[in-house]
């Protein structure tokens, strides 16, 4: 399927940015009841690294959603594959996402969680592809803006492969 990959964002560059994001989130949420919600499956590596950089007590939960399935392009239909396991009403919720591509999935998830009456709802995304956005979402904490390349690694996949790479790679078809 793919002939070769090249490093797009190094492990060192990613880890530096994760530390910076963790510090900012720590400052912004000091004294608040925080629930960090990782979106599965793609954010699991970023999520684990990020929450270890947030120097606050917090609750952890996960939410699964997909508009891709095993395809390389979005179907446009969002499917919740795993719902939150705890109530978020009157809590400060931080959604942690791997990549905002079209924005369709995240817009749906944010609207869904807003209906549950959190005290606040913010979004942290490792990556944003601004040229691909179809549904605008506000990203409160952003790791990197990237060009329109198909990227994998650090949790991101191509048909469930490559998630285990410690860096983000660009795949050439």
- Which residues are known to be catalytic? 101
| Number of other residues whose CB lies within 10 A of the CB of residue 117 | 12
Q: What does the alpha-carbon distance between residue 68 and residue 50 come to, in Å, rounded to a whole number?
A: 25
Which two structure tokens, joined as six digits, stand for 20? 């910076």
The full DSSP string for 97-141 is: EEEESSSHHHHHHHHHHHTT--SEEEEEEEEE-GGG-SS----SE
Q: How far is CA 68 from CA 40, 59, 75, 126, in A?
A: 13, 28, 6, 18
CA torsion 117-122-128-129 (nearest 10°) is: 40
């Amino acid at each position: 399927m793919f002939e070769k990959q090249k490093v797009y964002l190094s492990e060192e560059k990613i880890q530096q940015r994760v530390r910076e994001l963790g510090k900012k989130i720590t400052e912004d949420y000091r004294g608040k009841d925080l629930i960090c919600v990782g979106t599965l499956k793609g954010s699991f590596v970023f999520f684990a690294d990020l929450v270890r950089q947030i120097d606050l007590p917090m609750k952890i939960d996960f939410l699964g959603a997909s508009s891709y399935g095993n395809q390389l392009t979005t179907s446009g239909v969002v499917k919740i594959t795993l719902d939150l396991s705890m109530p978020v009403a009157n809590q400060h919720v931080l959604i942690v996402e791997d990549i905002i591509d079209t924005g369709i999935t995240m817009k749906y998830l944010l609207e869904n969680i807003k209906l549950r009456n959190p005290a606040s709802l913010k979004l942290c995304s490792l990556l944003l592809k601004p040229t691909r956005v179809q549904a605008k979402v506000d990203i409160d904490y952003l790791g990197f803006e990237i060009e329109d390349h198909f990227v994998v690694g650090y949790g991101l996949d191509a048909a469930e492969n490559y998630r285990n790479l410690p860096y983000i790679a660009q795949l050439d078809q």
